Amino acid sequence: MNHTVLQQQIEKADNAKKTNVLDLSSDQDLTIGLMNLLFIEDYISNPESNLSQMIAGVREKLMNRIVKKSDKNRQMLEKLLLESMQLIDAGDKQSGVSAYQKYDDAYEKYSLFWGINMGLIDKKDIK
């Protein structure tokens, strides 16, 4: 699917479901926080620590606002958000063309997240 077409479909579906455009707890705004939580959770070396468990609890609660618990793609969707944040972090540590490539790759994964989550893309169609 063409990246521009996918982005337009995501924006159209997103705008159709918004009840309050200033609500920061919905839609893409919330995913930025989720990306950071996933990144921190992945970074913590001891998953059994109180901090890790607290972060996992918050992440789980927030993820439930965007992705249904029963969604068979949930694990893959979390992975796409984490990979997007990892690419942003890698881009922040680089400069020039290589940084922009990382940011472009991050945006592509982020768009895939929304495309799959909104049912615009079937995960079988992803290479």
Q: Does residue 57 lie within any of the structural domains?
A: yes
The CA distances from residue 2 to 52, 84, 108, 112, 121, in Å, are 38, 19, 11, 11, 11
Domain range for 112 is 25-125
Residue 15, both tokens: 């705008």
Q: What is the pTM of this model?
A: 0.78
Residue 19 forms part of a structural domain: no
Q: Is residue 13 part of a domain?
A: no
Would you say residue 2 lies in a domain? Answer: no
Q: Is the per-residue pLDDT at 15 higher than 80?
A: no
pLDDT digits (tens, 9 = 90+) for 16-44: 665 555 454 466 788 999 999 999 999 99
Specify if 7 maps to a domain: no
> For residue range 59-93, what is the model confidence (pLDDT) as tens digits?
999 999 888 888 888 999 999 999 999 999 999 99
What single-letter amino acid sits at 71?
D
91's CB contacts (< 8 A; 6+ apart) are 98, 99, 100, 101, 102, 103, 106
The answer to whether position 69 is within a domain reads yes
SS3 65: helix
CA 123 → CA 6, 38, 74, 81, distances in Å? 14, 21, 11, 15
